[in-house]
Structure 1
């Protein structure tokens, strides 16, 4: 049997799937594409997560685009975190060319350009559906980890959340959080001490500075109402999965906000989606472009949290895919959880680069047809080494792959096209309205004003002597704070306490 026949047999036998799959491209042997040796990815194992890696300009973002396209055509929705701004073209049909038609013919797939259902979203000032979450939904554990607090400071945050739960103070945004911290260390210090013990002023001051740091990275735009419902990610239109593109081009210099959002999104999805187990296809796929921004600025606690979620979230039918320059950008404990690996070319300019390439090659299955470390540095644009898990969870044979061309536009949308797309969005009307309900800040401000008015009245000439009742009166007024809050927040304390579990966040949504 010739070498090429052995190659075809290996790929054919290694990629026999009973269930549905997507075709990523065709195999390459000795530098030549072998037509109809399709490299397939089974839908059944896409909830085992994946990695798309490669040096700048090698085509990894277009590979991400191709996978998202093929998932949409199979009716599977996805969420794409777009930090470079070059994924919005998924909404428009691609343009045919001789090069693309030749490439598609070589692979053995038809090229049918078309636009796909896309929802543009944002957590900052970009145009799109606004994504928000409340401070309460984060919970004390997650919010403390994001701010990298020590044990003493975490105890203060837990106290604040507990106090607000007991007294029904809605914590919606960072303004609420700061006001309650001020209350704890000033007006309400005596009542807090009686109920929970002494609170360190130094710890409160440190937490305040951490909150200001978050605000400077734009987190004040993210925290608040109306909270986004993650079930709105799981939508189809005309039988195609909706691709939700979260536009993050203006937060590349604010990695803490990015990692905060990413972790809260994963936590919310994990807590909200029901257990699904192993099904024939995933419920949702998340693609995190420029994933090194998540890990480079994350504390050890945050990394542990991400690792925990990655391990558990697949049971919800969710696949998470990291797109980055080198596999070493992703921690080993996370890398070990990934089933699909798409490796574009790497460049070896230094001794450190060569060592990284050797280490990367060790992460892939051995192949009789390639010397992996050599292929890694010799692949062209739009080529990649690919291995996935078959339906039994066994890695498929490593294949040097010519990746198919995207059927959507390989460029960004014009501003007018973005405005038109957002104006037609059903979700924009639901989430883009500014809401500022009565919450902890407003309630405490009103009550403190009332305390001050009563105190001023008591000191007017002719007022009856207070006979030392000032402290009792103040405590009485402070007690009244718990009775005058939003009705819909009542009765939810118990649920919130139950909902905050290992992930430290909260599944309930305020309306």
Structure 2
């Protein structure tokens, strides 16, 4: 068969699997025998973009740029996205790219116009990076999620559930970590008797373990994340000038804090799932989330946490939300999650060791067979900006596997300058809404006031004021007074009775807002 006929057959082979009645994005063009074939475009229908996806490959093979391309094309179609930027190189989406000769020739081969432009970008942060501050309260997490994040056993999780129940009944708002710690201290000290009477014995050893877990979370900067004002996930779903807003969550200072990152990711997915209405199979997704360095989510997650992530990935599709994981090898993602993914973009892998070669063989088995490629060989021979791509067509059937020359980003393939970052922040519609310090009265302050009043009342009970002098005092009176002053048990009983009475009164305080 001649080269020309082989190329025509290859183009038809790809086209037959990509007949779309609805809108789609173009990822690039197919490569055959080492040459890009103009007209053999690789398309992904918007209808299946809520079926999730994977972008994998060795360091430096172009994974992040592929992520950038998909986010760009979605934005141009009016679909907003959320990008987890752990390396700091996705902020460039706000500025136009560079129309160099290399980029123009690449676009010509693919058969698309190259029109550099900046897209509407919202910079966000859960730490000290510039941008919209994203926060959530302890109450919004709930006892189950808090227990999973802290990796607690059943007994310790029961104590967390008890605390949430107690705070609900006593109208003690749980907003941040200091609230949670204060309640833990209270139920093992001043409030122990009241809590034991109502809920049963609480183990001090278990409470101490929970306190240490909270301190570990604090050391990773979680106190910046927990609190008010809570971020409303509906603010992700915005458009400007007909283009979807790209929300870039800057996490460059969180790479060394994997527990904080996995905590944030799970809370975000949970909030989106619980907040967004059911959408079903629409013609395009409502929102897409891209998780760069996804191994940080899974490597530091407990078994319960992984089960929670898997459940959300399965269910969140019906909300019109697609989740895309960007990582080095598919094995970084659990098989239970990997099986849920529709779009797979596999950049080159490197085989330096026997373990690497086994990983490549296993990776190749996860892709459809192709009459044009030996997948395991292509995986190690692709250049930068090339990838093996398979998606789902509009009927949910995997498209033919294609060695693809991926299109270049139309936005800047580099970070923004400090001035450009400041300009993006100044034009933000959300910074005034969220970047304000709020520390309203919550469990920490309410219990602090309660304990302070108890201490003052105890001081009055134990140290009464001077009695008025009497003109006469019998020896019998003096002996009784002396005996009472020496009797420590009598004093202790008096303090205990007073303490119980005081708790009964102060425990009925209403929540102050």
TM-score by length of 1: 0.94
Distance in 1 (CA, whole Å) between partners of 2:458 and 2:254 is: 47
- The structure 1 residue matched to 2:465, chosen from 451, 461, 471, is 461
Write out per-residue CA displacement over residues 323-364 of structure 1, whole angstroms, 9 at most, x where no aligned residue: 000000000000000000000000111111010000000000
Partner residue in 1 for 2:102: 99
The equivalent of 1:213 in structure 2 is: 216
Q: Residue in 1 aligned with 2:252?
A: 249
Q: Does 1:475 align with 2:500?
A: yes
Runs (5+) with no aligned partner, structure 2: 469-483, 485-489
How many angstroms apart in 1 are the aligned matches of 2:504 and 2:287?
46
Native 8 Å contact 1:438 1:485 kept in 2: no
Structure-1 residue corresponding to 2:54: 51
Q: CA deviation at 1:5?
A: 1.6
What is the CA–CA distance in structure 2 between the aligned matches of 1:240 and 1:370, rounded to whole Å? 37
Query: Are the aligned partners of 1:76 and 1:282 in contact in 2 as well (CA < 8 Å)?
Result: yes
Distance 1:481 1:341 in 2: 59
Structure 1 spans left out of the alignment, 5+ residues: 489-511
Query: What residue number does 2:472 align with?
Result: none
Equivalence map 1:32-181=2 (5 Å): 32-181=35-184
Match of 1:345 among 321, 342, 348: 348
- Matched-pair contact (CA < 8 Å) for 2:125–2:250: yes
Q: Could you tell me which residue of structure 1 aligns to residue 447 of structure 2?
A: 444
Q: Give, in whole Å, the separation in 2 of the partners of 1:249 and 1:195.
A: 46
2:471 — aligned with what? none
Offset of residue 473 of structure 1: 3.5
Task: Kindly report the root-mean-square deviation, in angstroms, between the aligned alpha carbons of the 2 structures.
Answer: 1.5
CA distance in 2, matches of 1:387, 1:480: 66
Partner of 1:411: 414
Q: Secondary structure at the match of 2:105?
A: helix
**How many residue pairs align between the two structures?**
488
Q: Which residue in 2 is equivalent to 1:232?
A: 235
Q: 1:377 Cα deviation (Å)?
A: 0.5
Shift of the alpha carbon at 1:454?
A: 1.3
**8 Å CA contact 1:27, 1:37 repeated in 2:** yes
Q: What residue number does 1:390 align with?
A: 393
Kindly state the Cα deviation for residue 477 of structure 1 after the two structures are TM-superposed. 2.7
Question: Counterparts in 2 of 1:287-436, with a 5 A limit?
Answer: 287-436=290-439
Shift of 1:486: 3.1
Moved more, 460-469 or 181-190: 460-469
> Deviation at 1:487?
4.3
How far off is 1:481 after superposition? 3.7
Residue 496 (structure 1) aligns with: none
CA displacement, residues 421-452 of structure 1 (integer Å, 9 cap, x when unaligned): 11221211111101100000000000111111
- Deviations along 1:384-411, one digit per CA (max 9) or x if unpaired, are 0000001111000101111001000000
1:4 equivalent in structure 2: 7
Q: Does the residue aligned with 2:253 lie in a helix, a strand or coil? A: helix
| The structure with more radius of gyration | 2
2:476 corresponds to: none
CA distance in 2, matches of 1:272, 1:89: 30
1:165-190: CA deviation from partner (whole Å, max 9, x where unpaired): 11110000000000000000000000
CA contact (8 A) 1:167 1:481 kept: no
